[in-house]
Structure 1
Amino acid sequence: MAAADASFDDLAPLGRLIGSARIVALEGGSHRILEHGLIRDRILRFLIQEWGFTVYAAESRDHSQPGRRHLDSGR
């Protein structure tokens, strides 16, 4: 599990794919696999901290909590 202040250097290719897009959709994957939740959390932090995204929508309340914490804290 990456620390909250870990570098996002490995996600730079994702940033190039995003380009000037203001909407990014993430695949939900399996909700019962820990690693899917961890990478989704990391990508959300990347989108918020590095690309300035401010809105996160999820299919259920449980999955919105990691992103919501980052939006509320501004980190």
Structure 2
Amino acid sequence: MHSLITLPAEFVYRILDQLSDFDLFCSMQNVCYRLNQILNTYHRYQTLTTLKLWNNSISKEGAQQMADALRVNMVCQINR
């Protein structure tokens, strides 16, 4: 049996493909060193094209994670 940490990155990418952009950026970042390494090479994590903030409650930690993500991404569109 494998844990998320021991799976090959390609399998983790397939799992990440099932997450929303919000969950990807706010829930998966800084979980552990290995997951950060995988996220740094994941195509959806590197390119953020649309940021939908309408009707989302973001905690302080979530806002900080969003700010960290925006530091390394260029946002093309923000929907309210």
Normalised by the length of structure 2, the TM-score is: 0.35
Task: Answer 1 or 2: higher relative contact order, Cα 8 Å, separation at least 6.
Answer: 2
Q: Which has the higher strand share?
A: 2
Q: Which has the higher helix share?
A: 1
Normalised by the length of structure 1, the TM-score is: 0.36
Greater Rg by CA? 2
